[in-house]
Chains A and B, each alone.
Chain A
Amino acid sequence: MIELYLLLILMILGAVIALEAKDLLSAIISLGLIGFSLVLIFLILQAPDLAIVQIVVETLSLIILIAAILKTSLKDTAQENGLKEKFLLGGGLLFLIIFMFFVNQAIKFLPHFGFPLMRMAKNYIDLGLIKTGAVNLVAAIILDFRGYDTLGEATILFTAVIGVGAVLRKIGRKK
């Protein structure tokens, strides 16, 4: 459990550095720190499927972000110290305090960490191999029990690619 908390603290530090760094390359490396810490957390929580997807997607997005950032001057040019920024910061902190108070109230009613109410999931675990024949239980759930979700997800990805191709097209654009 202690390594889990260490990784979570590392992720928060990476997020803060990514926001505050003046050099854009350092900010993106800190974003990578968040993603790869999440890979380690998935491995510690024994979810290799999610870890594979996360490590591959994180690497791809880091490559794309670095390729985009190398064309610029690598400096963070955001302006600060205005009255509006201080007001927004104060409002954000106030919201954070109220939010943490209600989270603290609500977390008493949740099941303990690692011991969920396994009514539905227990049925899947017991009958997954018999009903679907797939040894990997994750594949059995996302493609048989919850197949509609995966079908919609694949269609959403297709629609997103079509949208990117339509917005960034070459043919028929007005100059």
Chain B
Amino acid sequence: MKGMTIIVKTIARLISGLILLFGIYIVLHGHLTPGGGFAGGVIIAGCFIFLFLAYGSEETKNEVSKWRASLCESFGLLLFWYLAMLGIFAGTQFFLNIINKGNPFHLFSAGIIPLCNIGIGIEVGGGLFAIFIILATLKMEEKK
């Protein structure tokens, strides 16, 4: 997959940071505003796919980024499972919200719900980007 023109590359370089920031905002405010882990994770994956499409697969190191995306995905899912098992570690039930709930309408509130959102966001972003890299590099290999 070849890269695009210099106009697309410049705009992608300028905009991709803002897209990543918006995805992180959607993930972190999942318990206050519409959105959450899945939507924010897809936006984060979209930011990286945008850069990948603009710069082409020659300039990016495919194997390294595939390995990192897979690592992010596994880490996010493991974080979610450990948060779910926090209740067992504390001596109560599975998936019980044991952290202090705090005041409503604050960023640090609602116990484990924002932490679960962060885990799902990391997992979905890494997983979708890994699928995209696998499909794109497969196409490139068959052309040779």
Interface residues of A (CB under 8 A from B): 48-49, 52-53, 56-57, 59-60, 63-64, 67-68, 71, 129, 132-136, 138-140, 142-144, 147-148, 150-151, 154-155, 157-158, 160-161, 164-165, 168, 170
Distance (whole angstroms) from the CB of A28 to the closest CB of chain B: 16
Nearest opposing residue in chain A for B31, CB measure:
A134
A-B residue pairs in contact (CB < 8 Å), sample of 25: A49-B35, A49-B36, A52-B35, A56-B43, A57-B42, A67-B136, A133-B104, A133-B111, A134-B109, A134-B113, A135-B109, A136-B34, A138-B34, A139-B117, A143-B116, A150-B116, A154-B77, A154-B80, A154-B120, A154-B124, A160-B127, A161-B127, A164-B130, A164-B135, A168-B134
Interface hits, B94-126 → A, CB 8 Å: 95, 97, 101-102, 104-105, 109-113, 116-117, 119-120, 123-124
Pairwise interchain contact B97-A144, C-beta atoms closer than 8 A: yes
6 closest A-B pairs by beta carbon, nearest first, are: A133-B101, A48-B34, A134-B110, A134-B31, A133-B110, A161-B127
Pairwise interchain contact A136-B31, C-beta atoms closer than 8 A: yes
Distance (whole angstroms) from the CB of A167 to the closest CB of chain B: 9
Pairwise interchain contact B127-A147, C-beta atoms closer than 8 A: no
Pairwise interchain contact B135-A64, C-beta atoms closer than 8 A: yes
Interface size band for B: 35 or more
* Measured CA separation A133–B108 after assembly (Å): 10
Known: A49-B35, A139-B30, A140-B31. A158 touches B127 (CB 8 A): yes
- Within the complex, which residue of B1, B36, B80 is in contact with A151, where a contact is CB–CB below 8 Å? B80
Pairwise interchain contact B123-A154, C-beta atoms closer than 8 A: yes
Q: Which residues of B contact A150 (CB under 8 A)?
A: 116, 120
B131 at the binding interface (Cβ < 8 Å): yes
Distance (whole angstroms) from the CB of A152 to the closest CB of chain B: 11
Known: A52-B35, A52-B39, A158-B74. A165 touches B80 (CB 8 A): no
- Which of A52, A64, A67, A154 has the most B CB atoms < 10 Å from its CB? A154
